[in-house]
Amino acid sequence: MTTIGHFINGETCLEAHRTQQVFNPSTGTSENEVAIASKQTVEQAIAAAEAAFPAWRNTPVLKRARVMFKFKELLEKNADKICELIGSEHGKIVHDAAGELQRGIENVEYACGAPEFLKGEYSKNVGPNIDSWSEMQPLGVVAGITPFNFPVMVPLWMFPMAIVCGNTFVLKPSERDPSSTLFIAQLLKEAGLPDGVLNVVNGDKEAVDTLLYDPRVQAISFVGSTPIAEYIYTTATSQGKRCQALGGAKNHAIIMPDADIDNVVSSLLGAAFGSSGERCMALSVAVAVGDEIADQVIEKLKNEIQKLKFGHFSDKSNDFGAVITAQHKAKVIGYIDSAEQQGATIVVDGRQAAPEGYENGFYVGPTLIDQVRPDMVSYKEEIFGPVLQILRVNTMQEAMDLIDQHEYGNGTCIYTRDGEAARYFSDHIQVGMVGINIPLPVPVASHSFGGWKRSLFGDLHAYGPDGARFYTRRKTITQRWPSANIREGAQFSMPTLN
């Protein structure tokens, strides 16, 4: 059994207050355990970050960006190893892991532009001989807490931007698949990052609570499930910290009667079952406007789903892999059972899935459920598995009302050929990320990522321009160098130009 440790002040640290098993979901076996950090270990990481801050803050932004250029190269050079680490602990197939890594690298590329986006704003002569400018200054020590489903991409949403802005960072990845995250943190040291600027602690609630309550931590970025996101946001803000906490999702696609059915079917397959549905942007609900299109889509989907292949993460012919743990598999199956008990029709049933040779892996086969109603538990809650549910309505407005009334508002998509309908939908729908004939509208790195309603607690979205705002605070300086022969007397009214 190998113990996966922490990365503090540029060194691996094996302090194991407690340990937890890490599984290979493809086989259901476990050869590793992860060290669960104590409060003291997390405090050590915070102290290292605090000590590294003054020098890093004063390092010219071009030099900070150069570390990111080198980091991007190292991520690309080590791509195969990173994807193998992701697959062996997460279960997602290697070409899906390569997509995750690539979307993460794009955030590093964006961070390389810091000399441009941190320039600030300048106004000359705002008053007589007075100039004014605004700077974006780093916050200090900031922390990130990340979920299991993107062990590389979501950390890369956070620390490259925070660090290039001059902050130092403590990252608490998911304890369920920590190795790929730890490995990329070590690559950043190889890229030239000074010790202490990025620290990684593995752990659970004890580690998270230490970050939330320690006054040296200025800001918290969180991505995970909604109940924990809400807890993180309320606790961090009660401690006076800046916080962005991204939560869960239930992403609906509206299928209009005029939609291109082949496009709908092929893109729904990938968006619902890719990564075993363990994506916060997975399309898990399709709302068909009219029975005719519903029947046509279901007929085609049924045939295509039977052809999907799932199994071991390293087999490139697979379409998706296992889910994260045996407990999660049981939870997903429980949702399918409850839909059946509440009267839905199971069109394709993945509950008995067991790929040959990997019978102990944590597999759920692709599942299609029709005749789902809004009062069903499987509709109200996030399933986070390879399950697509179909609801039937009569009008587009009914479909939009369903989406707007749902607790979550992360992503959504409309399939249509009607530009007017698409424009109305994107303008009015109460969701943060909208696709028009695009099933997974995950914003590129130069835009920012975030949902509405209970999918995001906080004001600023993740990465892109909002990321730069989140990890900096504005300081505005107004300056005059009075010349020796101009002296004003005391002024007691509010200074104006009049």
Considering the complex, what minimum distance in angstroms separates the CB of residue 227 from ligand NAD?
A: 7
Looking at beta carbons only, is 109 or 381 nearer to ligand NAD?
381
- CB-wise, 225 or 266, nearer to ligand NAD? 225
Catalytic residue among 165, 243, 280, 413: 280
Judged by beta carbon, residue 34 or residue 301, the one nearer ligand NAD is 34
Q: How many residues does the chain have?
A: 498
The whole-angstrom separation of Cα 454 and Cα 255 is 24
> Phi and psi (nearest 5°) for 110?
-65, -40
- Residue 455 is encoded by which pair of tokens? 């999918």
Could you tell me the smallest distance in angstroms from the CB atom of residue 458 to ligand NAD? 11
Amino acid (1-letter code) at residue 91 = G
For the chain, the helix, strand and coil percentages under 3-state DSSP, each to the nearest 5: 40, 25, 35
Q: Which residues contact 490 (CB under 8 A, 6 or more apart)?
A: none
Please give the C-alpha separations between residue 323 and each of 19, 226, 297, in angstroms, as whole numbers: 22, 19, 26
Residue 354 DSSP class: -
Report the number of secondary-structure helices (H) and strands (E) in the chain: 16, 23
Does residue 280 have an active-site annotation? Answer: yes
In angstroms, give the least distance from the CB of 98 to ligand NAD: 18
DSSP state, 123? E
Q: Which of 443, 363, 412, 384 is nearest to 153 (CA)?
A: 443
What CA–CA distance (Å, rounded) separates 237 from 212?
Answer: 9
CB of 456 to ligand NAD, least distance (A): 7
In the complex, the residues that contact ligand NAD under the rule CB under 6 A are 145-150, 154, 172, 174-175, 204-205, 208, 223-225, 228, 246-249, 280, 382, 384, 410, 451, 455
Minimum CB separation from ligand NAD for residue 149, in Å? 5
87 or 355: CB nearest ligand NAD: 87
Comparison of 451 and 464: residue with beta carbon closer to ligand NAD: 451
- Any bridge partners for residue 169, and if so which? 142, 198
Q: Which residue is nearest to ligand NAD (CB)?
A: 224
> What separation in angstroms does the CA of 55 have from each of 111, 140, 168, 197?
19, 11, 10, 10
What are φ and ψ of residue 230, in 5° steps? Answer: -65, -40
Dihedral-angle region of residue 118 (phi above 0 means left; psi in -120 to 50 means alpha; beta otherwise): alpha
d(CA 330, CA 348): 18
DSSP 8-state class, residue 146: -
State in angstroms the smallest separation of the CB of 415 from ligand NAD. Answer: 23
Q: Which of 111, 344, 382 has its CA nearest to residue 229?
A: 382
Least spacing, CB of residue 154 vs ligand NAD, in Å: 6
Q: Catalytic residue numbers?
A: 280
